[in-house]
Amino acid sequence: MTFADPTLSDDLIKEGTDASFMTDVVEASKTQPVIVDFWATWCGPCRTLGPALEKAVRAAKGAVKMVKIDVDANPAYAGQLRVQSIPTVYAFVNGQPVDGFQGAIPDSQIKAFIDKLTGGEGGSTETAQLLELGEESLSLNDMGGAAQAFAHVLSIEPENEKAIAGMARVYLAGGDREQALQTIAMAPQDSKEPAVQSVRAQLALSANAPAGGSAELEAKVAADPNDHQARFDLAEAQSAAGDFKGAVDNLLHIVKADREWNDQAARKQLLTIFEAAGLTSDVSRDGRRRLSSILFS
């Protein structure tokens, strides 16, 4: 079943697949916002939300595109994005998920969602520019500039979850874990905002870091490469320090050697790291590819 209007251009609303996801969503969103509707034929609320979304996308007159993903036929990216119920909608910009919601919502909220994404009536160009400035400052390790940009957004929109997550990341980068915890607590506990989930995953990783540095653990792993517990502890220490690539390498080593070790602890820890690093980051993309290669080989 499809909710798409057959008279509508395929360039605006289309049925997507796992195979076409990178092209239809990730790459396409680098030039124009893309809304992804995860749905299924048996889902009642999907029958309500789907047509409403399509109507709103058409009303935006080309400012946004829409891709529909049947999760039964295409489970891969739904799993990677941790879609736990449907319908779930994500908005992608510049190759990354930036906003989303679950369940059928009223037309007014759909319009506000699209306006926010496209800078329309319900969106704020100033806010979007400040968030972009904050992200750029973080990437340049300019914590002062990032803090100023995110704080400015919060002065305009105190409940802006991207800005809340941004401020928490500033505190994390400065080593102030307690302030990061207090800041991210400003976001709703059930927030689906990817930036919020990423920070919470980073905080969970830092909370589980073993005592002491990595040097002793590295020595233990070098002495016995099959010491999975030592390698797992080393991965925890690396992820807590922000070395996601090193942690992923060690966890994949465990999964390859014994995927069932400690109730699949290595695979579960990998999923947390992918979330902390950002689901569309190079570390996560490469890690997911390598994990799939191991699990399905």
- Establish whether 107 is a catalytic residue: no
Cα gap 183→170, rounded to integer Å: 10
Core vs surface per residue 27-58: b (16+ CB within 10 A) or e: ebbeeebbbbbbbeeebeebeebbebbbebbe
Whether residue 145 lies in the annotated active site: no
Say which residues have a Cβ less than 8 Å from residue 6's Cβ, sequence separation at least 6: none
Cα separation, 168 vs 220, in Å, equals: 34
Active-site position among 13, 25, 35, 46? 46
Q: Identify which of 61, 62, 55, 43 has the alpha carbon closest to the alpha carbon of residue 4.
A: 55
Residue 61: alpha-carbon gap to chain centroid: 27
Residue 205: both structure tokens together: 């990783």
- Dihedral sign computed on CA atoms, order 239, 272, 81, 248: positive
Active-site hit among 43, 117, 273, 291: 43
Cβ neighbours for 275, distance < 8 A, ≥ 6 positions apart: 82, 197, 198, 201
Q: How many residues does the chain have?
A: 297
54: nearest Cα among 97, 12, 25, 103: 12
Q: Which two tokens stand for residue 176?
A: 């102030």
Q: Comparing C-alpha atoms, which of 165, 181, 172 is closest to residue 143?
A: 172
Q: Which residues contact 11 (CB under 8 A, 6 or more apart)?
A: 65
What are the residue numbers of the active site? Answer: 43, 46
